[in-house]
Structure 1
Amino acid sequence: MTALDAFPITKRWPAKDPSVLQLYSFPTPNGVKVSIALEEMGLPYEAHRVTLADADVKSPEFLSLNPNNKIPAIIDPDGPDGAPIGLFESGAILLYLAEKTGKLIGKTAADKAQVTQWLMFQMGGLGPMFGQMGFFVKFAGAEIEDPRPRERYVNEAKRLLNVVEGQLDGQDWIAGDFSIADIAIAPWLRGLDFYGARELVGWDDHPNTVAYLERFLARPAVEVGLNIPPREG
């Protein structure tokens, strides 16, 4: 009997080491946020590959942990007061891990407020808008003849990219020191290449952002986290 036995998801994705944090994810921009954070923070964890197929994310086992049927999700067997806790939503998980470890969230309350502000910027703006743009540029939305939906999201992606560019003027990281805000934002910037949208949004006209993404991708923990769990099982 372990602390994880109360979580039905572990019946489908059993833990090899139930004493460490369990990650249920796939290497999308949202998914790699958590694997990168875990690598950067040096927390022991075990990764389980949960594909985006309905058979996985809409399975009763996965829904028992995340009723919103989206990756990533975690179970921490050593949660608050030593009790296990399950969490979903990548932003909430990043905040939880940062507060648990005291890492990548700044040294003061003011630092934390700034990091949280930029994390919310990604969660509420950059991620959803880039994702919608991708739908209309690369996926089924590209077949829609009406140009207005595509134009709406391309223009909003350009605006958000300009916000990032301005914030990076004179500093290496989005909120001063490297933080969970960067772990949230940079994978979505990287996603522009996957969507084939760099030229559309004028990527090369944003030198601060281009250099920022290069710095991010050069971090050893990022190189590892981007491929956890691997796409192919």
Structure 2
Amino acid sequence: MSRLSDFPITQKWPPKDPDVIQLYSLPTPNGVKISIALEELELPYEAHRVSFGTDDQMSPEFLSLNPNNKIPAIIDPHGPEDTPVGLFESGAILLYLAEKTGRLIPNDPIGRYETIQWVMFQMGGVGPMFGQFGHFYKYAADKVANNPYPVERYKKEVRRLLGVLEGRLRDRKFIMGEDYSAYSIADIALFPWVRGLSVGYDAEDVLRVSDFKAVTAWVERCSDRPASVKGFSVPAEV
């Protein structure tokens, strides 16, 4: 596709400025990864709210960009060789934005792959397991009221994963290092999910998140960044 208007999704969410990145999202842990990254990178973008309440994610227009009907997704009108590119999967989008700008990821090959490793840790472990815990603990609690197995299973796994993060962060401020410049897409991929245990699932006490002191300090450090504060509420409610 050579123009933004060639993407069918733009028929449902017409861009106000077709020259900037178009973000299709909601302020969920996966969604805010991208708004936070865009804010950190100071890339101009336009956010479109994909309402689950009206099944926007199942519309033909949205499915034309993401056949997996999940947020977030983006279109960059200035992709490689200045050709528009559409992307879904938050981990892939984070990697794309980092490589597009040369920021939020180390330049050396070893550091780059180590960062990608932690992004994959979030995509394959933290996201799915935290999400399953939240589903059974909060959103489907009535369905498992007489069966503690699902909550206990995922509670145990969430605490195991928090322990992995605690080990990584015990002697560093960010996933990839100690100083301010070490902040990376690995942090952006991970910390919204840990934050969501309390902010989204109200499960901070039952999970005893305070046991993981390095993790809780890191989440606070990441959450206080101006880009995070702004990104948490993107897209805004309409």
Aligning the two structures, in what range does the TM-score lie when normalised by the shorter sequence? over 0.9
Q: Is the 8 A contact 1:129 1:156 kept in 2?
A: yes
**1:15-94 paired onto structure 2 within 5 Å:** 15-53=15-53, 55-94=55-94
> Structure 1, residues 85-136: CA drift from partner, whole Å, max 9, x if none?
1000000000000000000011211111111000000000001100000011
Q: Which residue of 2 aligns with 1:184?
A: 189
Distance 1:142 1:158, change over 3 A: farther
1:49 counterpart letter in structure 2: R
2:175 matches 1:174: yes
- Is there any run of 5+ residues in structure 1 with no aligned partner, and where? none
Aligned-pair CA distance for 1:200: 1.9
Distance 1:204 1:40, change over 3 A: same
2:220 counterpart letter in structure 1: E
- Identical amino acids, percent of aligned pairs: 58
Q: Which residue of 2 aligns with 1:202?
A: 208
**Greater shift after overlay, 122-131 or 105-114?**
105-114
- The CA distance in 2 between the partners of 1:136 and 1:198, in whole Å, is 15
Distance 1:142 1:191, change over 3 A: farther
Q: Which residue of 2 aligns with 1:106?
A: 106
> Structure 1, residues 35-88: CA drift from partner, whole Å, max 9, x if none?
000000111111111122353000011000000000000000011111101000
- The CA distance in 1 between the partners of 2:60 and 2:32, in whole Å, is 23
- Is there any run of 5+ residues in structure 2 with no aligned partner, and where? none
1:203 counterpart letter in structure 2: V
- The CA distance in 2 between the partners of 1:124 and 1:199, in whole Å, is 25
Q: Is the 8 A contact 1:3 1:18 kept in 2?
A: no
The DSSP-based 3-state class of the residue aligned with 1:37 is: helix
Q: How many residues align?
A: 231
Q: Which residue of 2 aligns with 1:219?
A: 225
Q: Which residue of 2 aligns with 1:153?
A: 154
Point out 4+ residue stretches in structure 1 off by more than 4 angstroms. Answer: none
The DSSP-based 3-state class of the residue aligned with 1:104 is: coil
**Greater shift after overlay, 176-185 or 196-205?**
196-205
Aligned-pair CA distance for 1:201: 1.7
TM-score norm. by structure 1 comes to 0.97
- The CA distance in 2 between the partners of 1:59 and 1:223, in whole Å, is 30
1:225 counterpart letter in structure 2: G
Aligned-pair CA distance for 1:141: 4.3
Aligned-pair CA distance for 1:148: 1.2
CA root-mean-square deviation: 1.1
- The CA distance in 1 between the partners of 2:53 and 2:6, in whole Å, is 25
